Amino acid sequence: MKIALLTLATTFAAALSLQAQTTLRIRGSDTLGAKLVPQLAEAFKKQGGKVSFDIAAEGSSTAFTNLASGTAEIGMSSRKVKADERTLCRSKGVSIVEFEVAWDMISVVVNKNNPVSDLSKKQLLQIFAGDIKDWSEVGGTPGPISVYTRNTSSGTYKDFIGLAMKGREYGKNSQKMAGNEQIAAEVGSNPNGIGYVGYAYSGAKGLKVVSIAGSLPNPAAVKSYPLSRPTFLYTSGEPAGTTKEFIDFCLSPAGDAIVSKAGFVPLSIAK
């Protein structure tokens, strides 16, 4: 009886170990985690990858807290890791490794019925900083501007401050949204709305992409667009086993094709 119980316990432990080894926990960016990484994961499984995925897209900053705590094998981030995040990981004995996976273009969107189709860089800054409060100030139909941004855990929230706002903070009346799809829904239903989303989300219902100083997002000229940025996957140390296999797949020609299909700019074009 004792031998049978011991055998059962050993088998159960082995099953748990196998489960742990074949589940990849991926945490971080909504920009990457809502569309791109799930599509990469599905394609990886279809081509024979024997793994299940546990993906949570709650903002780029959560990539590094999860890597530091050992609750993720892969972190997704729409921005580069910050010094304090790298320090946090090191304090937990985690040395993170960075993989550039795709390029994105932050797309400024307004309601499809808004007559404004182009903003200068200065106007863009002033709208999101709260200096310009009415559409009539930029040639639009008179009405108060409703500004939608990502929340503070988002890499896009911080990237936009750097790329479009010269380090200034958002206006006090800006409304923070949890993800790209939430911003798209709000702007698409609000004639006075303006926000920003990743390029993959810019075709949502009710939206119009506004050019910035005459420049529209264009995958063929991604690096000349003023709001373009690379996106990343991070691992705890050099990846091995299934983690390495998945990272390698993401960076392969097959992964490149999925990046493009998902609405991002593949490295083969960006480079």
Largest CA distance in the chain: 84
pLDDT band per the 50, 70, 90 thresholds, residue 17:
very low
Among 140, 115, 145, smallest CA distance to 128 is for: 145
Mean pLDDT of the chain: 93
C-alpha triplet 253, 248, 73: angle, nearest 5°: 140
Q: At what angle do helices 155-164 and 121-129 cross, to 10 degrees?
A: 130
Question: Backbone phi, then psi, for 35, in 5-degree steps?
Answer: -130, -60
pLDDT band per the 50, 70, 90 thresholds, residue 22:
confident
pLDDT the model gives residue 113: 98
CA distances from 68 to 65, 92, 155, 178, 240 (A): 5, 6, 18, 23, 18
Number of CB atoms found within 10 A of residue 229's CB:
23
Average pLDDT over residues 71-94: 97
25-49: pLDDT as tens digits? 999 999 999 999 999 999 999 998 7
Question: Backbone phi, then psi, for 10, in 5-degree steps?
Answer: -65, -40
Tell whether the model's pLDDT for residue 21 goes beyond 90: no
pLDDT the model gives residue 6: 43
Strand 74-77 versus strand 175-177 pairing type? unpaired
C-alpha triplet 14, 19, 24: angle, nearest 5°: 145
Cα 48 to Cα 249: distance, rounded to the nearest angstrom: 11
Cα 169 to Cα 86: distance, rounded to the nearest angstrom: 24
pLDDT the model gives residue 13: 44
Average pLDDT over residues 249-268: 97
Task: Give the strand order in the sheet containing 175-177.
Answer: 175-177, 146-150, 193-197, 107-111, 207-209
Cα 24 to Cα 36: distance, rounded to the nearest angstrom: 16
Which domains does the chain possess? 24-103+228-270 (3.40.190.10), 107-224 (3.40.190.10)
pLDDT the model gives residue 48: 87
Strand 107-111 versus strand 207-209 pairing type? antiparallel
Average pLDDT over residues 174-202: 97
128-165: pLDDT as tens digits? 999 999 999 999 999 999 999 999 999 999 999 999 99
pLDDT the model gives residue 271: 82
Report the percentage of the chain scoring pLDDT > 90.
Answer: 90
